């Protein structure tokens, strides 16, 4: 069954991009450090390989497309269809790196992306669009790669929405720590706060502002390490 998946790198203090995101620095100041783990070996290399193998289509937020993906024709994966959620018309965007489609609505974009993905999954790109999909009940899994980086300021995961995420399997450690969560839709709600906080104590990665819950007494069945 095709799933809608957010795959994202995050700093230790909970940011998926640095401050001052702009065209010259689409990951914000210092944000490129979040992805340095992708050049690693072992668990890190497997994480990259897995996301490359699973992506059959992408759903992209307009801001993410404008800032980071337009030069690539809309997607880092040649031939993979991209679905940009925007109010603007298709004539405003032209890409040759896979089919480009544009929708004024989340459900239409996700439905068409699932059809295009076939037996693979739909990858979500962009913090705000991920938050909208989470609240709308359209997001199935979240793969988080926690990089050994502190940014101090920046963009929080899900654009300030709160979602119930249940950890599946055990964290896999490389240069980054790779975690996989399924979405528990009954606990999702929007919140005013936009800055996530991370409390690392007896149960690491348990209960921070975006609503992650690590069920310590539940045996996970998946050792999937996520992707880039």
Position 164 in a domain = yes
Position 106 in a domain = yes
Position 221 in a domain = no
Position 70 in a domain = yes
Residues whose CB is less than 8 angstroms from the CB of residue 99 and which lie 6 or more positions away in sequence, other chains included? 81, 82, 116
CATH of the domain at 144: 3.40.430.10
Residues of the chain with pLDDT under 50: 191-228
**Contact (CB, 8 A) for 50 and 6:** no
Q: How many domains does the chain have?
A: 1
d(C-alpha 15, C-alpha 13), whole Å: 6
d(C-alpha 55, C-alpha 225), whole Å: 15
Tokens describing residue 110: 């996700």
The residue range of the domain holding 175 is 4-213
Position 225 in a domain = no
Q: How far is CA 58 from CA 94, 213, 220, in A?
A: 16, 27, 27
d(C-alpha 108, C-alpha 102), whole Å: 9
pLDDT of residue 213: 34
pLDDT of residue 21: 86
pTM: 0.75
């Amino acid at each position: 069954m095709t799933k809608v998946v957010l795959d994202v790198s995050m700093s230790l203090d909970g940011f998926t991009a640095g401050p001052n995101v702009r065209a010259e620095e689409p990951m914000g100041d210092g944000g490129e450090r979040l992805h340095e783990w992708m050049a690693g070996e072992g668990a890190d290399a497997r994480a990259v390989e897995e996301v490359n193998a699973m992506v059959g289509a992408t759903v992209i937020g307009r801001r993410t497309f404008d800032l980071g993906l337009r030069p690539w024709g809309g997607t880092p994966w040649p031939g993979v269809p991209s679905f940009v959620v925007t109010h603007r018309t298709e004539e405003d965007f032209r890409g040759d790196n896979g089919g480009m489609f544009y929708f004024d609505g989340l459900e239409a974009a996700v439905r068409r992306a699932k059809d295009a993905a076939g037996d693979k999954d739909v990858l979500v790109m962009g913090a705000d669009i991920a938050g909208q999909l989470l609240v709308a009940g359209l997001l199935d899994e979240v793969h988080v790669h926690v990089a050994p980086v502190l940014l101090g300021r920046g963009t929080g995961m899900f654009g300030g929405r709160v979602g119930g995420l249940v950890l599946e399997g055990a964290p896999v450690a490389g240069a980054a720590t790779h975690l996989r969560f399924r979405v528990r839709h009954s606990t999702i709600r929007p919140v005013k706060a936009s800055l996530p906080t991370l409390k690392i104590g007896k149960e690491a990665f348990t209960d921070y502002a975006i609503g992650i819950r690590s069920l310590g007494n539940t045996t996970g069945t998946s050792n999937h390490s996520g992707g880039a």
